[in-house]
Amino acid sequence: MDSVITVEHLTKDYGEGRGIFDLSFEVKKGETFGFVGTNGSGKTTTIRHIMGFLKAQSGQVTVLGLDAWKDSPEIKKYVEYVPGEIAFPDLRDGTTFLKAQAELLGLKDTNRINYLVEKLQLDTSANLKRMSKGMKQKTAIVAAFMADKDILILDEPSTGLDPLMRETFIELLQEEKSKGKTIFMSSQMFDELEDVCDRVALIFDGRIIDIADMSEINNLPYKTFKVEFTTREDYLKFKRLKYEIVRDQEKYNQVTIKVYDKNLNRLFDTLKNYTLKFIAEVKYNLEKHFKEVLAKEYARLDAIKKEEEAHPKPQEELTRTEQKQIKREHKKEEKKENQSEKNEKFFNKPKVKAEKKEIKTHKKEAKKAEKQEKKEVDNV
């Protein structure tokens, strides 16, 4: 079987745009598949469906050909799992917990446990409830990896680890990968995913908007260089050569150019005739790739919004969902306006009080003047 994890049109709608929508992807045997996105984008919800903790509203998830929801107990025999939120049982310390896990899994040989504990520099004698976030994360990693199963499902596994320990964790992952294991891993750290992943999916507002192949990103047919010239004359002269300029900083006599590999020798031969302040390669990486993808997605959504505003659908053509969404938007706007009025009243309270006081004083003075005038008339 080539595909170990298959996700087809997976949807879980929590309302108000929250959830995951029509997700489809597959993770092949021996592949390390990354999953990246901001908090709330749907990473953990997807992983909980793969683990069989959540039932999909529509669509399907299979692991090793088994239904993730119906066959969840069977699937767990082949899966190592590190959750995003770690909750330990009520046991005394790390040693007791790891022993209990080993008994549950039927592990008699403790060599692997000892190796993992030493590698992660974990103090297993520490009280489980009083452990720091980093210590809890290490304990969860040991508990998951000690079973040596074929599939690893990891929900932001390096959260709470310091930079040095994160490097150690990456080494562990690479060891697992070299054994041919299938790894599905969510993270918010691009460098972490670049180090171990074969492909990485970007999830945005509950939808996968791109799946990047790391071999393509690492082996682009061109390179990008930032070049700064000592004199303005050289800067202007170079610009006339019609290299592909992706950024021009006239103020600094600086250009950023894209050059295909076949033209690299020609570029460096050309630059021998110029006086440079510096030249540096601008590395293309996963983060830059996804920034470009997101920029296009924002532009697309913005264009849709403008089109809808310019040509709104007649009320009778709107679906129920669209009608509800419009009502929600109107309510939000009303709430905003009411809050603005409240804020204005609140912040202008002293001003309003002063005005009221001034009016009251004017009234008193007018009344007093009226009485005085009446008195004078009576005396006459």
Query: In angstroms, rounded to a whole number, what is the distance separating the alpha carbons of residues 121 and 124?
Result: 9
| 166 vs 364, more confident | 166
CB atoms within 10 A of CB 54: 19
Q: What is the pLDDT of residues 263-285, one digit of tens each?
A: 999 999 999 999 999 999 999 99
297, 204 contact by CB (below 8 A)? yes
In this prediction, what percent of the chain has a pLDDT beyond 90?
65
Q: Please tell me whether residue 163 adopts helix, strand or coil conformation.
A: helix
Report whether pLDDT(111) > 70.
yes
Which residue is associated with the tokens 């009234």?
363
**Average pLDDT of span 80-97:** 90
CB 142 within 8 A of CB 168: no
Q: SS in 3 state form for 205-233?
A: CCEEEEEEEHHHHHCCCEEEEEEEECCHH
Range list for CATH 3.30.70.80 in the chain: 221-282
pLDDT (mean) for 300-320: 74
Q: Choose between 146 and 364: higher pLDDT.
A: 146
State the pTM of this model: 0.77
CATH code for the structural domain at 3-216 = 3.40.50.300
Strands (E), the chain: 3-15, 18-28, 32-36, 58-63, 66-67, 79-82, 151-155, 182-187, 199-204, 207-213, 222-229, 244-249, 254-260, 276-282
pLDDT at 355 over 70: no
User: What b/e string do you get for 219-241 counting C-beta neighbours within 10 Å, with b at 16 or more?
Assistant: eeeebbbbbbbeeeebbeebbee
CB 146 within 8 A of CB 112: yes
pLDDT in tens, 58-76: 999 999 999 999 999 999 9
**Mean pLDDT, the chain, as a whole number?**
87
Least confident segment among 130-139, 159-168, 282-291, 301-310: 301-310
Residues of the chain with CATH 3.40.50.300: 3-216
The confidence score (pLDDT) of residue 380 equals 47
Per-residue burial over 282-306, b if 16 or more Cβ lie within 10 Å, else e, is: eebebeebbeeeeeebeeeeeeeee
Task: Tell me which fold the domain 221-282 belongs to.
Answer: Alpha-Beta Plaits (3.30.70)
Provide φ and ψ at 70, rounded to 5°.
-70, -35
Tens-place pLDDT, residues 335-351: 656 655 655 554 455 55
Residue 347 pLDDT: 47
What is residue 157's three-state secondary structure? Answer: coil
Q: Could you write out the DSSP letters of every residue in 330-371?
A: HHHHHHHHHHHHHHHHHHTHHHHHHHHHHHHHHHHHHHHHHH
Residue 203, classed as helix, strand or coil, is: strand
As a whole number of angstroms, the distance between CA 168 and CA 184 comes to: 18
Q: In what order do the strands lie in the sheet with 244-249?
A: 244-249, 254-260, 222-229, 276-282
* Backbone CA torsion sign across 115, 116, 119, 120: negative
User: Which residues have a Cβ under 8 Å from the Cβ of 266 and sit 6 or more positions away?
Assistant: none
Whole-number CA gyration radius for the chain: 32
Say whether pLDDT at 176 is over 50: yes
Q: State the virtual CA torsion across 73, 75, 79, 85 in degrees, nearest 10.
A: -50
- The winner for highest mean pLDDT among 22-26, 105-109, 156-160 is 22-26
Q: 121-125, 154-158, 364-368: which range is least confident on average?
A: 364-368
